[in-house]
Amino acid sequence: MFIEVDGVEKVFEVRRRTGFLKRERRQVRAVDSISFTVARGEMVGYIGPNGAGKSTTIKMLTGILTPSGGRLRVAGIDPSRERRRLAHRIGVVFGQRTTLWWDLPLIDSYRLMHRMYRIPDGRYRENLDRCVELLELGGLLDVPVRQLSLGQRMRGDIAAALLHDPEVLYLDEPTIGLDVISKAKVREFLRELNHDRGTTVLLTTHDLQDIEQLCSRVMVIDHGRMVYDGPLAGLHEAGGSERILVVDLERELPPIEVGGAARVVRTEGPRQWLAFPAGEPAAGLVSQIAADYPLVDLSVREPDIEAVIARMYADKASA
Ligand SMILES: Nc1ncnc2c1ncn2[C@@H]1O[C@H](COP(=O)(O)OP(=O)(O)OP(=O)(O)O)[C@@H](O)[C@H]1O
């Protein structure tokens, strides 16, 4: 297996002031004995509520943090012991932070990385050309990073993470704050990267659409523990979660009746909200409504991750 995580833990010691001169030591178990493996070429989503332990896991996988217990290997390498050797084989993108030099034109950051990673000239050229083309960076190479829009900067960061041909790419919220078109571009690029180059991808996100469009498998972490590992549809089923189809009709009408599990949960003038099982595709429902009602517009709202996980627990508790 390409990534092997076996009973890995991370405990942080936190000191808290409890009074004048008095301090209390407390342990935070950020990651609590998690185990999983990822095969070469897999694209796996890694999700969970805020503070669940996702970033801590990624930091251990890159060698930035040393586990408090358990065993961890990436491409046969122990990340915290051989961080530098591993750095040549992995790429990391943190959506909320850039690895690019803020005041320099984009191309200068790439040149610096070329030297830092000692990337052979031919390979650097080839990878750069490919990223510039697919991520549409052509007109941006001479622009200082601070002048780029968030979506442009993100594409610039993804290219930077790929110049040295990493076998695995860790992405932490790569679509956060992006508009619909930028999100689509980033997703399309990642899909191609995984398909064409067989790059293994571990994707952390709060956007379930990222997972739906990219990952056949999703792992859910909560309070440092792995609570689900399987297909996204299975997660929806386990939580009985629903998506919402928002339908705009030509005029105000009585609640839409479509049979099956879909039902109207709210109406407001010509707009109606229909809940349907999140594990099912929306296509059948959409075509049925389009055939029977004067449809003007529609959109689908995904359940948020917190809600899906909360339902999972509710189901377990009542089972
Ligand atoms: N350096 C640290 N020192 C002490 N506690 C920490 C440290 N880093 C993380 N934690 C704690 O560990 C827990 C897990 O944090 P982590 O950042 O891994 O969560 P996350 O799932 O990435 O959350 P988010 O989605 O908000 O980024 C949290 O309770 C956090 O406060």
Per-residue pLDDT tens for 259-301? 788 899 999 999 999 999 887 888 889 999 999 999 999 998 8
pLDDT tens-digit map of 215-226: 989 999 999 999
Taking the CA of residue 55 as reference, the ligand 1 atom at the shortest distance is 22
The pLDDT confidence band at residue 134, using thresholds 50, 70 and 90, is confident
Distance from the CA of 65 to the center of ligand 1, in angstroms?
12
pLDDT for residue 5 is more than 90: yes
* C-beta of 56 in contact with ligand 1 (< 6 A): yes
Distance 74 CA to ligand 1 centre (A): 22
**Structure ipTM:** 0.95
For residue 24, what are the CA distances in angstroms to 32, 68, 137? Answer: 22, 21, 51
85-94 tens-digit pLDDT: 999 999 999 8
pLDDT 10s digits, 171-205: 998 888 888 888 888 899 899 999 999 999 999 98
What's the gap in Å between 173 CA and the centre of ligand 1? 15
Q: At what angle do helices 180-197 and 150-162 cross, to 10 degrees?
A: 10
Residues 6+ apart with CB under 8 A from 2: 37, 38, 39, 40, 42, 74, 75, 167, 168, 200
Which pTM does this prediction carry? 0.81
Q: Which of 10, 13, 54, 58 to mutate to test the pocket of ligand 1 (most atoms within 8 A of CB)?
A: 54
Q: Give the domains, in start order, of the chain with CATH numbers.
A: 3-236 (3.40.50.300), 242-302 (3.30.70)
Mean of all residue pLDDT scores within the chain: 90
| Residue 318 confidence class, pLDDT cut points 50, 70, 90 | low
**What pLDDT score does 163 carry?**
93
Q: Whose CA is nearest to atom 5 of ligand 1?
A: 12
Q: For ligand 1, atom 16, which residue shows the shortest CA distance?
A: 53
